[in-house]
Structure 1
Amino acid sequence: EEVSQMKLKEVKIPTCVCVCVCVCVCVCVCVCSQLVYEFFLRFLESPDFQPNIAKKYIDQKFVLLLLELFDSEDPRERDFLKTILHRIYGKFLGLRAYIRRQINNIFYRFIYETEHHNGIAELLEILGSIINGFALPLKEEHKMFLIRVLLPLHKVKSLSVYHPQLAYCVVQFLEKDSSLTEPVIMGLLKFWPKTHSPKEVMFLNELEEILDVIEPSEFVKVQEPLFRQLAKCVSSPHFQVPGPGLLSLRVEACRPGPCREV
């Protein structure tokens, strides 16, 4: 108990400790140890941390083991993992593409095979920060990630578990590149729920976030199919659906330019 209350932030950790730390974290594949995670996180955040030395131990294999832990049922463990992976992404430039690729693989398996993974929300939260730091113009691989991964995530039954983080990622892309408006809106319409009203409310809420950031010139390209869908929402017998649908109509009625004419 005394050890768990140590002020780890006051401990000066030499980089040579990296070997022991990496081994300890890898041993935690089956058993979550809060102390080990705290120690490793303080190690990564230490001003004496030297990535050039640590990269010998924090490599692709280590990252893969770390990502496997995200399926933990313990939200406290997933929160530690989220912060640790974010720190690794920031400090190890050579691992960034690999981390994104492996997260993509987790999402692909989740969407098309298992539809079960406990860490989707945390992984999306990390990606939200990563997307925010993307340089302009966006690389084609990043655009493909939006179209082939983020949009299909909307069709999974457990959408409510991670929808806020997913919507944030989508909006981040549109703020970076308004030309993505059409594929995003059409993608949402493609996966729009037909019988699950609570899920439809989530789509409408996300749509309102999108409408807040898109350009009027881009909105014109999708206004017809979009308003056809909103018209269906307005006539929905489900008590939750018409409200957001009407609110979306009010939002667009107030927008300048071509949107006002709809």
Structure 2
Amino acid sequence: MQLYHHPFDLDSQKVRLALEEKGIDYTSHHVNPITGKNLDSSFFKMNPGGRLPVFQNGSHIIYKTIDVIQYIERIAVFSSGCENISSSSREVIEWMQKIQEWDPKYFSLFHIPEKYRTYVSKFLRRVVIARMSESPELAGAYHRKLKEAYQTEEKLKEEDVLRRSKEHLNGLLDEAERQLSETAYLAGQEFTMADVMLIPVLARLAVLDLENEYITCRPNVAEYWVLVQQRPSYKKVIGRYFDGWKRHKTLLKSWCFVRIRSLLKRY
């Protein structure tokens, strides 16, 4: 089993947490979206949208996050040989879907300084054009990706886009706050795949230095956040890259790569 992912990517974090929690062995392939590695032709042939993560088991390829996690659950059940182990309940799946409905893309981009955001965006557009020239058979997919990049830039000029994203996020966290006043975890007293979906959302808020605005102000969510950070899966998937000073090291490495490649005009 192969997983193409990156520590920066929120959906990749969800899938990796699921793999770690279920104890599934897999081969890890880092595909950094900031440096445009997700635009390489080999990756594009697996997922023409160029999005992470991509999970491959033999010839079977899945790249929708919830589908991947449910597939991982089925593998875990099969591997255990215990028929009495069930997959996620309806309540867990409903939570998974609610969380997945919030798109972190524009929210995250709005909280990145414009000069860095614009620089990386320009770099990635040039990467798309370079890859399109190298792989003309994928020109259609690359053209759609280039169009998507320009549309993203236009969306970031609209204040309503950020407002709607904030409202959606606040609604989700308010619902989580109410639930966590009754149970230790999101779907009951046991850790489930619903928690796997929520943890990266909270981690993204922490990375963007928005804990006070979104987490600390909700006592139950704040207590839950402290609790889940103690899990070995969190420490391996997220903590090792983003806790404390590590976040600066992780981001600086990618930023230096983009700067050097841009200066050398090597896309």
Is the radius of gyration larger for structure 1 or structure 2?
A: 1
| Fold match by TM threshold 0.5 | no
Higher strand share: 2
TM-score, with length taken from structure 2 = 0.28
The higher relative CO (CA closer than 8 Å, separation ≥ 6) is in: 2
Q: Give the TM-score taking structure 1 as reference length.
A: 0.28
